[in-house]
Amino acid sequence: MKKVVKFGGSSLASARQFKKVGDIIRADKSRRYVVPSAPGKRNDKDEKVTDLLYQCYDAASQGGSYKKILEKIKGRYEEIIEGLNLNVNLEHEFAAIEENFIHKAGRDYAASRGEYLNGILMAAYLGYEFIDAAEVIFFDENGNFDSEATNRELAERLEHIEKAVIPGFYGSKADGTIKTFSRGGSDITGSIVARAIHADLYENWTDVSGFLVADPRVIKNPEVIETITYRELRELSYMGASVLHEDAIFPVRKEGIPINIRNTNRPEDKGTLIVESTCRKPRYTITGIAGKKGFCSINIEKAMMNAEVGFGRKVLEVFEKYGISFEHMPSGIDTMTVFVHQSEFEEYEQSVIAGIHRLVEPDFLELESDLALIAVVGRGMRATRGTAGRIFSALAHARVNVKMIDQGSSELNIIIGVKNADFEAAIKAIYDIFVTTEI
């Protein structure tokens, strides 16, 4: 049995947290490959080392005063070294980092040092081998992750290494420059390592006991999702459920490796298991609800639109021209509506409207802003009658006006458009009807 274990920033924010992590790793011999993040926040008011590194680099590379921030960063690692009684001295490392900052080694290089240094400490603490991610995780010259070259190299390197620590978040380009994934990217590194070693399980340790059925900022103490499929997760993460980086499922998905989200502060909790496919029935008809505010819709009307071949393509061409991606596009016989992110659309609003007029000559065009989209996701919906009926009657009871409905052909999700102001009420109504009343 081989497991890859990734620990997030809050799990490694202090010596105290490191000790919990050490206990977790030592409790199971199969936890052989460890991917650490940089030290995160120790409390709400604290700062993440990654953020400090960006600040420090920006100051140093522009000739500003950076020493104070650098001392703060050093202090974070010293606390861990002292608290764990490690025989490690990072002075040389920090001297090199300072030098490289002044010589403008790049913001990615700067941010990556958080994971790099934490990896060194973690390896020393566990007695595992340290492997610099720059030697095994590769990006092409355009900065895109090179999955196949990485997989080959990592598999080869790790084949004969029993136990290793590989820092998360970064890798390198062919010319040696450091490149990071987007924020939260250590999740992706863990997944890449799991794929390369054909792990039985990828454990992703964080500070919550798994994915929640709904956002805890909207629903008080929501239930935890026990099992979720990659596809369901993708729908929920896209709509804002943020426990795992949304790209982290792709490498393990190629190999059918499950991901288990676990809580470092409550290791007894089973967390959420993310799988390719499962016969396990979800506890409720729906697996989860997620949503986002800040959309707007462009409603287009034209008599006989249905008979005009190429109408839809021409409309979408206008959005494409301005680099605006569309989210949903429900249509009627003589109407078509395009949902877009308000922030992406605002700048080009008038040009898009003019473009649509020019290309398709609509009878009527109207914009509606401040809309929210809510995704109700669940593999169980396909086999259950009346799910949509229950959702809409719950919304009607909560006096929420539904602006748009879209059920994907996979029957895995129903997307509902409502006014931003109705967002919370809508989520509460849906949660209550499927979860609270079914408990």
Residue 35 or 154: which CB sits closer to ligand ASP? 35
Rounded distance between C-alpha atoms, residue 19 and residue 80, angstroms: 10
Q: Minimum CB separation from ligand ASP for residue 152, in Å? A: 24
Residue 108 or 422: which CB sits closer to ligand ASP? 108
**Whole-number CA gyration radius for the chain:** 24
| Count of helices and strands (H, E) across the chain | 14, 17
Tokens representing residue 134 in the block: 């720059």
Q: Minimum CB separation from ligand ASP for residue 40, in Å? A: 7
Residue 119 or 362: which CB sits closer to ligand ASP? 119
Residue 52 or 338: which CB sits closer to ligand ASP? 52
Q: Which of residues 18-57 bind ligand ASP (CB under 6 A)?
A: 37-38, 48, 50
Q: Which of residues 364-403 bind ligand ASP (CB under 6 A)?
A: none
The answer to whether residues 315 and 356 touch, using CB atoms and an 8 Å cutoff, is yes
Q: Minimum CB separation from ligand ASP for residue 96, in Å? A: 20
Q: Minimum CB separation from ligand ASP for residue 410, in Å? A: 30
Residue 37 or 264: which CB sits closer to ligand ASP? 37
Residue 185 or 282: which CB sits closer to ligand ASP? 185
Q: Minimum CB separation from ligand ASP for residue 195, in Å? A: 17
Q: Of the ranges 71-79, 138-146, 178-186, 308-316, which one interacts with ligand ASP (CB under 6 A)? A: 178-186
Q: Is 9 in the site for ligand ASP (CB under 6 A)?
A: yes
SS (H, E, C) 63-112: CCCCHHHHHHHHHHHHHHHHHHCCCCCCHHHHHHHHHHHHCCCCHHHHHH
CA 101 from centroid of its chain's CA atoms: 28
How would you classify residue 320: left for phi > 0, otherwise alpha for psi between -120 and 50, otherwise beta? alpha
Tokens representing residue 217 in the block: 């900022």
Q: Of the ranges 148-156, 177-185, 251-259, 359-367, which one interacts with ligand ASP (CB under 6 A)? A: 177-185
Rounded distance between C-alpha atoms, residue 188 and residue 179, angstroms: 13
Torsion of CA 199, 262, 413, 255, to 10 degrees: 0
Site string for ligand ASP, 106-145 (x = CB under 6 A): --------x-------------------------------
Residue 122 or 373: which CB sits closer to ligand ASP? 122
- The alpha carbon dihedral of 109, 245, 163, 265 has a sign of positive
Q: Which of residues 58-117 bind ligand ASP (CB under 6 A)?
A: 114
Site string for ligand ASP, 155-174 (x = CB under 6 A): -------------xx-----
3-state helix, strand and coil shares in percent for the chain, rounded to the nearest 5? 45, 20, 35
Q: Minimum CB separation from ligand ASP for residue 169, in Å? A: 4
Q: Minimum CB separation from ligand ASP for residue 206, in Å? A: 10
Q: Of the ranges 26-34, 86-94, 182-190, 290-298, which one interacts with ligand ASP (CB under 6 A)? A: 182-190
> Residue 288, Cβ neighbours under 10 Å: how many?
30
Q: Minimum CB separation from ligand ASP for residue 233, in Å? A: 17
Q: Is 17 helix (H, G, I), strand (E, B) or coil?
A: helix
Q: Count the site residues for ligand ASP by CB under 6 A.
A: 13
SS (H, E, C) 371-422: EEEEEEECHHHCCCCCHHHHHHHHHHHCCCCCCEEEECCCCCEEEEEEEHHH
- Residue sitting closest to ligand ASP (CB): 186
Tokens representing residue 27 in the block: 């409790």
Burial of 125 (0-12, 13-18, 19+ CB in 10 A): buried
Residue 18 or 431: which CB sits closer to ligand ASP? 18
- Which helix or strand (DSSP H or E) is residue 151 part of? helix 147-159
Give the CA distances from residue 23 to residues 43, 139, 183, 263, in Å, rounded to whole numbers and listed in that order: 22, 34, 27, 13
Residue 110 or 415: which CB sits closer to ligand ASP? 110
Residue 113 or 390: which CB sits closer to ligand ASP? 113
Q: Minimum CB separation from ligand ASP for residue 164, in Å? A: 18
Residues that bind ligand ASP (CB under 6 A): 9, 37-38, 48, 50, 114, 168-169, 183-187
